[in-house]
Structure 1
C-alpha cells in the first residue's frame, strides 16, 4: 500500500506543481471545454422516455411483447377513455360525440377505436343476445306493439300518459316494460320537472333490462396518440389535445363521467407528478445543502468554489453522455444526483485537508500541494473502486442502469480530474479566508469522549455490530420486490384511481394477457384450455364475435320485424302539445290512478301509485301557481325526461331488425384487424377472474396462463417479468461490483485485512438497509432500487478515507478529530440533505426512494465513523 501510495502522491505533486503555475490558463481552458460540452450536449443529448427500452430487448418477455406489437401495432401505447353514466343512451351519445371530435384531431391522434360501437353493432346487436333472451324480448315487444304503435302516432306527453293510464285503469294494454318500476321512474321525472332538475328515463333499460351486455353504461374509447420520445414528456401534446376535447364534452354532457387512463396516461401523469414533487424537494434540498456546506467549510467562497467545480464536472459528464450514448433514459437521467453525491465527497476532502494544513500555518501554495499529495491517493482509490462498481452494471440486461453505469463511471474520473486540477487552481486564485474555520476546527464540535468513543468502547461496538448484522441477515430472507408500478404512482391522480377501479371488475380489467396463434385450430384450442383455468374469467378470440345459433335468431328477428317494422321505418321525434292539453292529460292520468286505487286498493301497483298520486298533486298545484311560460317550461321538461331517449331506442331496435348473417368477413375492419392480422395470426385476449390490484393474484394469473400459453404477454407479464429482470440485473451487478471493488482494493492495498476493513461499512450498511425494508414495510421497487449504486460508492469511499488516515497518522490522537472524518461526515450529510427531502414528497415512488436513501446514508455515517474505527483499532492493537 505504501509503495503505491507514494507513487501516486509523487505523480500528483508534480501534476499540482505544474498546473498551479498557470491557474488562470487552466481555469479558462476548463471553462471553454465546459462551454463546448454544454453546446454539444444541448444539440446531441436527447431524452428517451420510452420505458419499454430500459430493459434489454433480448429478454424473452420483451421478444414476446415485440412479436405481439408487430402483429397488432394498434394495441401499442394506447390512451383509454372511460365514459360512464347511469343510462346507456346518454353514454352512447357522449361516446359518439367524443369519437367524432377525436377523429377530427388528426395532428395528435393516429387512430380512434370504440369497442362495440358503429353501424355494424347497431345493425347486428340483437344477434349477440342469448337465444332465450332474444325470444323473451321478441315476445315482450310483440305484446307491446299497440303501445309502440300509439306512441309512433303521438310521441308526446299526451300519448305516453294516455296509454300508461289505460294500462293502469283497464290493464289491457301491454307495455314493453314492467309497470311497477316504470311508475317509480315517472314519479322521479315528475319530481325533477317540479324542481327544475335533469332526469331521463332510459327506454333501453326498460325494454331490455339493466343487466344486458348490450346496455353497458360504462364504455371505452381507445386512442393511439402520436408520441415524441425526444421530449421529456412524450405524450404532453397529444394528451393536451385529448383533454381539451374531453373538457368540452363534459360541458355538453355534464351528467356523464369521463376519465383518462391507460399506460400512456399513467406514465405521463407519473412524469408530471415526479416533476412537481422533485420541484418541491429541490427547494428544500438546495437550502439544506448550502447550509451543510457552509457549516462544514465555514467559508462562503469555499462553498462557491465547491459548487463551481461540481457544475464543471456535470457539464463535462453531460458532454461525454452526448458523445458516447446520445440520450438519457428515465434511469440514467439520475446520473446528476449520483455525480453530486460522490463528486462533493472529493471536493470536501480536499477543501478540508487544505483548511487543516492552513491551520498548521503552512503557506497557501504549500498547503495546496500537500493537500493534493495527502488526499490525492485516497480519492484516486475511491474513484477506482466506485467507477469499477458502476462499470459492473454495464453487462446487465437492465439497459437503463447499464447506460447509467457508463455515464456515472466515466463521470467519477471526470470528477477526480477536476478536483485534483481545477479545484486547487480556484483555491489559489480566489484567496479563501480560513481563519474562522481554524478556530472551530481546533476547538472541536463535540466533547472529547465523543471522538474517543469507538476506540474506548471497541468491544461493545463490535459485539453490537455483529448482533445487528446477524439480525439483519435474518431479515434479509424476508425482503421482497414490489413489481407493481401502480404502487409507485400518485394514488389520487385520475389515471391511477380509474385504472385501479377498472381492475376490481372482471369485465373491465385492463390488465389482460394476450396469446398468439398461427391458425384457427390453435386459437380455438388455446382459448378452450385457458377458459378452464380458475384464474381466467374469459379467453376471447375473433370467433367470439360470430354470434351462435344465428339461423334461429334471424328467424326470431324476421318475425319481430313483421310486427314492428313493416309500417314503421323511423320512429318519429317528440312533438310538443299545448299547455292546456298537457294539463288535461295530467288530470286524466290522475283520474286513472284514482280509479285503480279505488277498484284495487291492495294491488301490486297500489304502493307506487299512492306515491305517484301525491307527487302529481304537488306538481299540478305548482303548475297552477306559475305563469303560462313557466308552465310550458315545466311540462316540456317533464316530456323531455320521459320521452327523450325513446326515439333513439326505437330507431336502434328498428335498425336491429335488418340484421343479416355475421361471418369473419363481414366483421368491421377496425374490429377484425385487432384479432386477426393480414398474416393470419390470431389474437387471444385472456381476462382475469380476480382483482389484479393484489400482487398474489397477478402472479398466479401470469403463472397459470403461461403454462398453457408460454409466450403470453401484455401488462401483467411486463410488470412481473420486469421486476424479475431488474432484481436479477441488480444481483448480477452487485456481485460483479463487489468483486471489482475487492480486486481493486487488493491490488492497491496489498493487504487482505485492510481491504476487509474498508468493505466493512459498505457490507454492514447494505445488510442493515436491506433489513430496514422489511421492518418499515418499504420493499424494494423500480424507484428505490436505484439508490444502491450511490450507497455502494459512498460506502466504500468513506471506508477508504478513514483507513487511509489510520494507516498514515500525523499528530492526531483520534481519527474522528481529523479533517478526513469531518469531510466524510459533511459529504455524507450533504448528500443526505440533497436527497432526503424526497421522503416527504406526496409521490409514493420518490417517498420510498427518499426514505430508503435516508436510512442508508445514516447507516453509512454510523458504520464509517463508529464501527470501522472500532474494528480498525482492534487491528492496530
Structure 2
C-alpha cells in the first residue's frame, strides 16, 4: 500500500478513536461550533440574487453592458407593465393611472415612463404621419367638423343625439361622410340593443381613423425601474406586489401583465422555490427511507442526520467567512452537501458495523475507510473548485463553498459520527462471516462485462462531441409563467421589441451613420436614434395643420358643458325619437337611427346614464388628444425636452442607437445571428441577444476549462496517493466511463447542457471518484474480488448513490425547466455511475486480478 495512503488511514483511525473515547466532548464541541456558525451566518451572510453578476465583470460583454448601464441608469432590471384594453383610449387611461401611482411610490419605483405616450411624441404625433395619410385624416375631421363641434361642447348623450339629429337633417345619402356616419350609428345601435358582438366602450379614435393609422390596438406598455433589495431572495417583490394590488382597482376588461428582467427573475425564483420545496419533500422522504434500508438502525440513521445538520451549519459559516454571500447558484450547495456528505456517513457506518460496535470498531472503520473518505472529499472539492479559474462567477463561488463543505463533511464523519455511534453503545463482536466461495459464473461474465463497458464507453465518446449547449437561459424558465409568456409574446411582435439591442455612438452624426450601415445588414429591422424623432417634411405638414385648424377652431376651443341631468337625457331621447320618426324609411342611416331610438326609449334613467358612459365616456380623452396634436410646431434637435432626451443622449453627449430584428426571433441560431449582425457595425452593442449569446459562450468555455482542470488535478491526486498504475486505472476508468456514458446518453435523449445542469459535472467527479476509490482501496485489503463484493463496500456504494439520486431526483419534476434538466441529467449520471462502479469495475478487477498477482 502506498505510504501516503497509510498515513491518511492512520491519521483517520486516530481521529476516529479519539472521538469515540470522548464522545461527549466531541458532540458538545460540534454543537457549540454549529450554533456559533449559525449565528455568524444569520448576521453576516449576504444574498446576491442579481443574475447580472453570475459572469465575471471582466468579460467584454459584461464591460459593454456595465458601460451602457452607467450611461443610462434607467436601463436594466426593469419592470414592464403590458396593458391590454378593448380600446386604445382605455389602454392610455389605464397607463396614465399606473404611471401616476408608480411615480407616487418613490421608495419602490424610479424612471417611470410609457414610451408611446411621451408628451413630446404625443404633441408631434401627427407630424410623424406620412403627408398623404395626414391629409386624409385632416380631410375627415374637416368634413365632420360641424358634428364634432356639437360633441366638443356636449361630450355626453345629449350632445351625441343632437349631433345625430343634425346629421339626419344635413347628411347627403350619397356622400362618404354619410356612409361613415351610418357605420357609427349602427355600432351605437348595436350597443344599445345589447348585441354581444358590439363593443363595450365606443372608441372614437378608431371610428375616425384613416387606413394605416397606428396606435389603435388597445395596448400600452409602461416601463419602470423598481427599487430592488438584492439582500433578499426576491429583490423586486415589494414593487411587484404593490403593482398587483393597484391593478385590482381596474375593471376586469383591462388586462395587466408584468414582464421585464425584474419580473422574470422574481417569477423564476418563485418557480425555483416551488420546485425546490417539492423536490425537497421528495428528497427528504427518499433519503430517510434509503438510510433506514441501508443502515437498518434508528441510532445510525439519527447519527447520520445529526452529522448532516451540523455540516450544513458549519458550511454556512464557512461561506460567510470565505465568500460572504450566496448567489442564485451557490444556494444549491446545501443539496450538494446532503447528496455527498450522507455518502460518507453510509460508508463509515456500514464499515464500523462490519467490525462490530464500540471504540475498536470505530477505530477499525477509520483505518479502513478513512483514506477513501478523505480522497473522495478531496476529489469532490477539486471538481467544485475547478470553476475558480473561469469567468463563471456563479459556479466559482459555489465551488468555493461546496469544496469547503466537502472538507467539513469528511471531518465530521471522522469526529462527530464516531462519537454519536459509540455514545452509550455496548461493545459487540463483529458477526463471523463464512469464507467466500469463488463464483465461477461471475468470473466467466467478467470479460463480457468489460467488453460491454468498452463498447458503451466508445459509443459515449463518439456521441460526446455532438453534445448540444443551450445558451439561452430564457428557455430554462417556466414557459407558463406570466412574465415568460408575455416576454415571448412581445418578442414575437412585428418589431421584436423583446430582443432589441442597444448601442452607443459618439454623437448625432455617428448615430446616423451607424443607422445607415445597420440598415444594410441582414436580419436588421428598425433602427432608432434621436434623429429619427425629428419629423420630415415639416413645412408641408405644419401648413396642413394650420389650414385644418381654421375649420376645427370650434372643436379645438370649445368648453364642455356640465354633465346632463336625467331629465335632460330623457328629453334628448324623446327629441331624437321624434326626429327619426319624421325621417324617410329607405335610407340606411335612418334605419340605424331608428333602431337606436327604439332601444333608447326602452331604457330607464339609470340605463341611459350607463349607456352614456359607454358611448361618450372616451370622447373627452380623444378630443384632448386632438387639441394636443394641433399644438405641434417646428421641431429641431434643440427642441427635444430634457425628459425625453435623457433616454437617447448621455450626459457626456453620446447617442443611443436602438436596433430591432427584421423578423420575430424563434430560435437560438436566429438570436445569435441577429446579435452578430448588429455587432459588425456596433461591436459594443448590448441587450438580451448579445448578453445571452456571449454569456453562453463564457459558460461553455468555463465548462471546458473546468473539465480539463478537474480531470488533470483529480488524476494527479489519485496518482500521488495510490501510486500503483493498476489502481490508478481502476479508479479513473469507471469515472471516465460514467462521464462519456452520461454525455452520450444525454445526446441520445436530446438533453442539452445548459446554465443549470452543468453543475452535474463537478458532482459527477465527486460521486464517480468516491465510488471507485472505496472499491479499489477495499480490494487492496481483501484482495479476493468475491470477498470484496460480499463486503459492506458495494452496499455502501449502492445506497450512497441512491441517496444522491433521491437528493436530486425530485428536481426532474420541478416546473422550472433548468431545475428539471438538472434532475434529469443527474439521474442519467447516477445510473452511469452505478453501472461503472458496481458492474464494470468489479469485472475489471477480476480481469486485471490475475495480471496483478503475477507482479
TM-score range normalised by the length of the shorter chain = over 0.9
CA deviation digits over 1:552-601, x for unaligned, max 9? 1111111111111267413525646342441441453366472326xxxx
Q: In the alignment, which residue of structure 2 is the partner of 1:404? A: 398
Q: In the alignment, which residue of structure 1 is the partner of 2:369? A: 375
- Report the CA distance shift for 1:872/1:521 in structure 2 as closer, same or farther (over 3 A): same
1:385 aligns with 2:379: yes
1:97 aligns with 2:70: no
For residue 579 of structure 1, the aligned residue among 553, 570, 579 is 570
CA distance in 1, matches of 2:574, 2:499: 55
> What pairs with 1:784-863 in structure 2 (closer than 5 Å)?
784-809=757-782, 813-863=786-836
Q: In the alignment, which residue of structure 2 is the partner of 1:161? A: 164
Which range is displaced more, 90-99 or 265-274? 90-99
- Report the CA distance shift for 1:5/1:158 in structure 2 as closer, same or farther (over 3 A): closer
Unaligned runs of 5+ in 2: 851-855
> What pairs with 1:580-619 in structure 2 (closer than 5 Å)?
580-586=571-577, 588-589=579-580, 592=583, 594-596=585-587, 612=592, 616=596, 619=599
Aligned residues: CA RMSD:
2.7
1:268 positional shift: 0.3
Q: In the alignment, which residue of structure 1 is the partner of 2:4? A: 4
Q: In the alignment, which residue of structure 1 is the partner of 2:693? A: 720
CA distance in 2, matches of 1:474, 1:167: 85
Q: In the alignment, which residue of structure 1 is the partner of 2:409? A: 415
1:671 aligns with 2:644: yes
Kept after mapping to 2: 8 A contact 1:124/1:659: yes
CA distance in 2, matches of 1:864, 1:772: 17
- Report the CA distance shift for 1:179/1:296 in structure 2 as closer, same or farther (over 3 A): same
Unaligned runs of 5+ in 1: 598-604, 625-629
Kept after mapping to 2: 8 A contact 1:479/1:774: yes
1:221 aligns with 2:222: yes
SS across alignment from 2:656: strand
For residue 730 of structure 1, the aligned residue among 703, 722, 727 is 703
> What pairs with 1:96-495 in structure 2 (closer than 5 Å)?
96-152=96-152, 155=155, 156-166=159-169, 170-171=173-174, 174=177, 178-179=180-181, 181-192=183-194, 199-209=200-210, 211-248=212-249, 250=250, 253-358=251-356, 364-431=358-425, 455-495=443-483
SS across alignment from 1:83: strand
Kept after mapping to 1: 8 A contact 2:149/2:555: no
- Report the CA distance shift for 1:617/1:584 in structure 2 as closer, same or farther (over 3 A): closer
- Report the CA distance shift for 1:142/1:743 in structure 2 as closer, same or farther (over 3 A): same
CA deviation digits over 1:156-177, x for unaligned, max 9? 23213223434666456946x8
Kept after mapping to 2: 8 A contact 1:571/1:651: no
SS across alignment from 1:510: helix
Kept after mapping to 1: 8 A contact 2:4/2:721: yes
Q: In the alignment, which residue of structure 1 is the partner of 2:853? A: none
CA deviation digits over 1:386-425, x for unaligned, max 9? 2222222211110111111111222211111111122111
SS across alignment from 1:477: helix
Kept after mapping to 2: 8 A contact 1:299/1:433: no
CA distance in 2, matches of 1:395, 1:204: 60
TM-score (norm 1): 0.91
1:680 positional shift: 0.5
Q: In the alignment, which residue of structure 2 is the partner of 1:601? A: none
CA distance in 2, matches of 1:454, 1:515: 67
Kept after mapping to 2: 8 A contact 1:167/1:173: no
CA distance in 2, matches of 1:695, 1:589: 63
Q: In the alignment, which residue of structure 2 is the partner of 1:30? A: 30
CA distance in 1, matches of 2:470, 2:584: 63
Kept after mapping to 1: 8 A contact 2:53/2:393: yes
SS across alignment from 2:49: coil
CA distance in 2, matches of 1:429, 1:452: 43
Kept after mapping to 1: 8 A contact 2:152/2:558: no
Which range is displaced more, 197-206 or 721-730? 197-206
For residue 547 of structure 1, the aligned residue among 514, 535, 544 is 535
CA distance in 2, matches of 1:187, 1:652: 26
- Report the CA distance shift for 1:403/1:151 in structure 2 as closer, same or farther (over 3 A): closer
- Report the CA distance shift for 1:215/1:747 in structure 2 as closer, same or farther (over 3 A): same
SS across alignment from 2:648: coil
1:36 positional shift: 1.2
CA distance in 1, matches of 2:428, 2:229: 52
- Report the CA distance shift for 1:296/1:567 in structure 2 as closer, same or farther (over 3 A): closer
- Report the CA distance shift for 1:195/1:544 in structure 2 as closer, same or farther (over 3 A): closer
Kept after mapping to 2: 8 A contact 1:144/1:173: no
SS across alignment from 1:213: coil
Kept after mapping to 2: 8 A contact 1:146/1:173: no
Kept after mapping to 2: 8 A contact 1:454/1:867: no
CA distance in 2, matches of 1:552, 1:188: 41
Structure 1 consecutive aligned stretches of length 4 or more whose deviation exceeds 6 Å: 194-198, 432-435, 441-444
CA deviation digits over 1:626-661, x for unaligned, max 9? xxxx52333334443333322322232122222112
SS across alignment from 2:208: helix
CA distance in 1, matches of 2:795, 2:418: 20
CA distance in 2, matches of 1:214, 1:372: 76
1:529 aligns with 2:544: no
CA deviation digits over 1:504-536, x for unaligned, max 9? 112352211011101222111111111222311
Number of residue-to-residue matches in the alignment: 844
Kept after mapping to 1: 8 A contact 2:20/2:423: no
CA distance in 2, matches of 1:674, 1:112: 12
CA distance in 2, matches of 1:427, 1:188: 84
Q: In the alignment, which residue of structure 2 is the partner of 1:746? A: 719
SS across alignment from 2:81: strand
